[in-house]
Structure 1
């Protein structure tokens, strides 16, 4: 193979490796970086607390995740109890978080996305009907993948895709534990973001996007959209 062709091949390989490196999280350069939330410094995440000020409490949280959580205060009938970098601070830079999710009978964790994380969910009690929708495909299709989960079952929701969980039981609550591949995964509940934004998205945009009249949009925007994440 001519030298010029070898050079071009090596250049392409180096470029591919570099592009992959730039799109992944950097490796940790120390054992931990406990978040210093009082620091005036602004970075993508939180700066590190001085290691001499770190103690075991920075990695601990009395979350009582074994106790049922209140689902009556949410219109969705669910309660998402988050454990992320905001509590405990020791999660900073470690790239993980978790949540306990409680579902009242016939209620749901409505369609939402996590812009910065893949989620893996395990059912602890009851059963759940779950699913996610793919992004726009070449055939203009958004494919729905669903599954009914029972106690002990596990399901994965790919990063950034719209997904949901629904408790189909008429009389039994359900409980799940979720792990997420980010210290602060973020959550965008679709209906809340579209119809409950501040300030509101204009009627002109929404009537054309959803192909309904202004009265329907005004009704949707007048609903009390709320956050079921605690």
Structure 2
């Protein structure tokens, strides 16, 4: 019985488009400014998010807590300013009674301006808190989604977080892990192909052919599940 040893070329890794990347950024270039170009890299870093509220409960709770703290600071501050202005107005009108209508009108305007300014500050703080918490919630969502793909056998999943995201220290280890899994899957598929070639030389042609086809089928499925071409 002759044994034929055949070595298959290493399959090419086929990566899927990353949901965190803009449409004009390919997985091959990633987020490397040297490969993407300055303008495309800036678009990648600062491109607007499609959805800022990823984890609604936690992000809104954090935003409301920050707003409450700001309110606790603004209320006594506005009250103190209003009291000081009233004292100043009382001092002025005591010596100049004819200025009382003007001072009352000024007090009303200042009160309205202070109220509107407080609303603007509260709204700005709320929006900034949502944006800041999204840097963690968005990154956690992307990592969780990639882990789910790996759990399903999609070893071509790659993690590319945005420049301002938190948890970026997990990007390189995650991609190294999937690369190692793809390499292992490629080696297993190559071993199955080699075993199929060896089985094809068995004396009983019919059985050998069926076994070889089964092994090649397993090798092909292994490559497909791992995202290998």
TM range (shorter): under 0.3
Higher relative contact order, chain-length normalized (CA < 8 Å, sep 6+): 2
Larger Rg: 2
Q: As a proportion of its length, which structure holds more helix?
A: 2
TM-score by length of 1: 0.20
Structure with greater strand share of residues: 1
TM-score by length of 2: 0.21
